[in-house]
Amino acid sequence: MKCPYCNHLDTRVIDSRPAEDGSSIRRRRSCDVCGKRFTTYEKVETIPLIIIKKDNNREQYNRKKIENGVLRACYKRPVSADAIQQTVDSIETKIFSLEAKEIPSSTIGEIVMEELKGLDEVAYVRFASVYREFKDVNTFMDELKKILDN
């Protein structure tokens, strides 16, 4: 780290501790050349994730939208709040593990369906019926047959 006083390129870390917000590290540093001390903060840099919608519009990733979709699919189902949060966490982990700056909403929809299938089959069918825009009973039945055949 460069010294802000003399611009020397080599400084020492004297003390490190979590900052008040808990999401960064506070470091006290000392310059070996001028002897002055200063504080730096280190935090994780997050890359904003952009979602490409069906109509090619782009919007920033919003975890709340996934939570709402999973909650609606699990409405009046015997699924605990903890299980729902773990499912949303798992979905989010899979999304960010793709390490892409832009992801089509269809990819996210498929990940959500995959996770819901393991959580609750009725929730899966509910989500699939909205996500896949079932036009009639036959497409709904086709999706049910896929579940029953597994």
Same domain assignment for residues 81 and 108? yes
Question: Tens of pLDDT along 106-139?
Answer: 999 999 999 999 999 899 888 988 887 777 777 7
Residue 21's pLDDT is what? 67
Does the residue 5 lie in any domain? no
Neighbouring CB atoms inside 10 A of 131's CB total 18
Same domain assignment for residues 23 and 54? no
What is the rounded CA–CA span in Å between residue 72 and residue 99?
28
The CA dihedral of 133, 135, 141, 146, to the nearest 10 degrees, is -40
Token pair belonging to 12 = 């020492």
Residue 3's pLDDT is what? 94
For residue 143, give Cα distances in angstroms to 78, 102, 104: 22, 29, 22
Provide the residue-wise pLDDT of the chain in tens; the chain has 150 residues.
Answer: 899 999 999 899 999 998 776 778 999 999 999 999 999 988 876 678 999 999 999 999 999 999 999 999 999 999 999 999 999 999 988 998 888 899 999 999 999 999 999 999 899 888 988 887 777 777 778 777 877 776
Does the residue 2 lie in any domain? no
Same domain assignment for residues 60 and 134? yes
Does the residue 1 lie in any domain? no
Token pair belonging to 10 = 């080599």
For residue 110, give Cα distances in angstroms to 32, 40, 116, 131: 55, 42, 10, 9
Same domain assignment for residues 21 and 95? no
Same domain assignment for residues 66 and 87? yes
Domain limits for position 114: 50-149
